[in-house]
Structure 1
Amino acid sequence: MATDAKKRIWGWMAFDWAAQPYYTLGLTFIFGPYFAVVASNYYLGTGLEGEAANAQAQSVWAMGQTIAGLVIAFTAPFLGAFADNTGRKKPWIVGFSIVYIIGAWSLWYMTPDSSNLFIFLLLFYVGFVAAESALNFINAYLPSLGTDEEVGRISGSGASFGYWGGLVSLILMLVFLAEDATTGKTLIGLDPLFGLDPANREGTRAVGPLMAIWFAIFMIPFFLWVHDNPADKGSVPPMSKVWNDLKTTLRNVARRRSTASFLIGGMFYRDALNALYAFGGTYAVLVLGWETLWLGVFGIISVITAAIFTYVGGRFDARLGPKPVIIFCIWMLMLVCTIIVGMSRTQFFGLPIDANSMFPDLIFFGCGVVIGGAGGALYAASRSMMVRHTDPDRPTEAFGLFALSGKATAFLAPALILLFTYLTGNVQLGFLPVIFLFILGLVMLRWVNKDGEPAV
Structure 2
Amino acid sequence: MAGRPEGGVKERDMTHESTVSSADQMSPHPAVPRRGIWGWMLFDWAQQPFHTLIITFVFAPYFASAVAPDAARGQELWGLATGIGGLAIALSSPVLGAIADATGPRKPWILAFSLIGVLACASLWFAMPGAGHVGLVLIAVALAVFGMEFAAVFNNAMMPDLVPRSELGRLSGSAWGLGYLGGLVSLVLVLGFMSAQPETGRTLLGLEPIFGLDAGLREGDRASGPLTALWYLVFVLPMLLFTPDVARRKAATGAVREGMARLADTLKRLPRERSYFSFLLSSMFYRDALNALYAFGGIYAAGVLSWSITQIGLFGILANVTGALGAWLGGRMDRAFGPKLVVGVSIVVLTLCALLVISTTRDEILFLPLSGATSLPDIAFFVAGAFIGAAGGSIQAASRTLLVDQVPRPRVTEAFGLYALSGKATSFIGPFAIALATGYFASEAFGLSNEDAQRLGVTPILVLFLIGLALLPFVKSRHGEASAA
Kindly state the Cα deviation for residue 341 of structure 1 after the two structures are TM-superposed: 4.4
Q: Distance in 1 between matches of 2:129 and 2:435?
A: 28
State how 1:6-45 maps to structure 2 within 5 Å. Answer: 6-40=34-68, 43=69
Q: Distance in 1 between matches of 2:175 and 2:422?
A: 22
C-alpha change, 1:283 and 1:198, in structure 2 (3 Å) is closer
Q: Is the contact between residue 259 and residue 452 of structure 1 (CA under 8 Å) also seen in structure 2?
A: no
- Residue in 2 that maps onto 1:63: 80
- Residue in 2 that maps onto 1:433: 460
Q: Is the contact between residue 342 and residue 349 of structure 1 (CA under 8 Å) also seen in structure 2?
A: yes
Instruction: Look up the SS of the partner of 1:16 in the other structure.
Output: helix
C-alpha change, 1:102 and 1:434, in structure 2 (3 Å) is closer
C-alpha change, 1:396 and 1:366, in structure 2 (3 Å) is same
Q: Is the contact between residue 88 and residue 146 of structure 2 (CA under 8 Å) also seen in structure 1?
A: yes
Instruction: Look up the SS of the partner of 1:446 in the other structure.
Output: helix
Instruction: Look up the SS of the partner of 2:252 in the other structure.
Output: coil
Kindly state the Cα deviation for residue 7 of structure 1 after the two structures are TM-superposed: 1.7
Q: Is the contact between residue 325 and residue 377 of structure 1 (CA under 8 Å) also seen in structure 2?
A: yes
Q: Distance in 2 between matches of 1:134 and 1:402?
A: 13
Q: Distance in 2 between matches of 1:417 and 1:59?
A: 7
Q: Is the contact between residue 258 and residue 453 of structure 1 (CA under 8 Å) also seen in structure 2?
A: no
- Residue in 2 that maps onto 1:111: 128
**Which one-letter code corresponds to 2:332 in the other structure?**
R
Structure 1 or 2: more helix by fraction: 1
Q: Does 1:187 align with 2:215?
A: no
Within the candidate set 376, 391, 408, 2:408 is matched to 391
Within the candidate set 379, 382, 392, 1:362 is matched to 379
Q: TM-score, normalised by structure 2?
A: 0.85
Q: Distance in 2 between matches of 1:132 and 1:207?
A: 18
Structure 2: where are the runs of 5+ without partners?
1-28
C-alpha change, 1:86 and 1:315, in structure 2 (3 Å) is same
Within the candidate set 252, 263, 266, 2:283 is matched to 266
- Residue in 2 that maps onto 1:227: 244
- Residue in 2 that maps onto 1:49: none
Kindly state the Cα deviation for residue 283 of structure 1 after the two structures are TM-superposed: 3.3
Q: Is the contact between residue 72 and residue 404 of structure 1 (CA under 8 Å) also seen in structure 2?
A: yes
Q: Is the contact between residue 345 and residue 355 of structure 1 (CA under 8 Å) also seen in structure 2?
A: no
Q: Is the contact between residue 159 and residue 310 of structure 1 (CA under 8 Å) also seen in structure 2?
A: yes
Deviation larger for 271-280 or 154-163: 271-280
Q: Is the contact between residue 86 and residue 237 of structure 1 (CA under 8 Å) also seen in structure 2?
A: no
**Which one-letter code corresponds to 2:252 in the other structure?**
V
State how 1:290-439 maps to structure 2 within 5 Å. Answer: 290-349=307-366, 351-417=368-434, 422=440, 426=452, 427-428=454-455, 430-439=457-466
Kindly state the Cα deviation for residue 319 of structure 1 after the two structures are TM-superposed: 0.9
Kindly state the Cα deviation for residue 418 of structure 1 after the two structures are TM-superposed: 5.6
Within the candidate set 159, 170, 174, 2:187 is matched to 170
Q: Does 1:86 align with 2:103?
A: yes
Q: Distance in 1 between matches of 2:368 and 2:54?
A: 38
Q: Distance in 1 between matches of 2:126 and 2:347?
A: 40
Q: Distance in 1 between matches of 2:431 and 2:122?
A: 29
Question: What per-residue deviation string (whole Å, max 9, x for no partner) do you get for residues 34-66 of structure 1?
Answer: 2334433xx5xxxxxxxxx44433332221111
Within the candidate set 125, 128, 138, 1:121 is matched to 138
Q: Is the contact between residue 179 and residue 201 of structure 1 (CA under 8 Å) also seen in structure 2?
A: yes
Question: What per-residue deviation string (whole Å, max 9, x for no partner) do you get for residues 174-200 of structure 1?
Answer: 111112122222112211112233333
Q: Is the contact between residue 75 and residue 435 of structure 2 (CA under 8 Å) also seen in structure 1?
A: no
Question: What per-residue deviation string (whole Å, max 9, x for no partner) do you get for residues 114-138 of structure 1?
Answer: 3222223222322221111110000
**Which one-letter code corresponds to 2:250 in the other structure?**
G
Q: Percent identity over the alignment?
A: 43
Question: What per-residue deviation string (whole Å, max 9, x for no partner) do you get for residues 405-436 of structure 1?
Answer: 11101233345546666569545455543222
Q: TM-score, normalised by structure 1?
A: 0.90
Deviation larger for 218-227 or 316-325: 218-227
Q: Distance in 2 between matches of 1:31 and 1:357?
A: 28
Structure 1: where are the runs of 5+ without partners?
44-52
Q: Distance in 2 between matches of 1:417 and 1:103?
A: 24
Q: Is the contact between residue 58 and residue 224 of structure 2 (CA under 8 Å) also seen in structure 1?
A: yes
Q: Distance in 2 between matches of 1:261 and 1:325?
A: 17
Instruction: Look up the SS of the partner of 2:426 in the other structure.
Output: coil
Q: Is the contact between residue 82 and residue 142 of structure 2 (CA under 8 Å) also seen in structure 1?
A: yes
After superposition, the CA RMSD in angstroms is 2.4
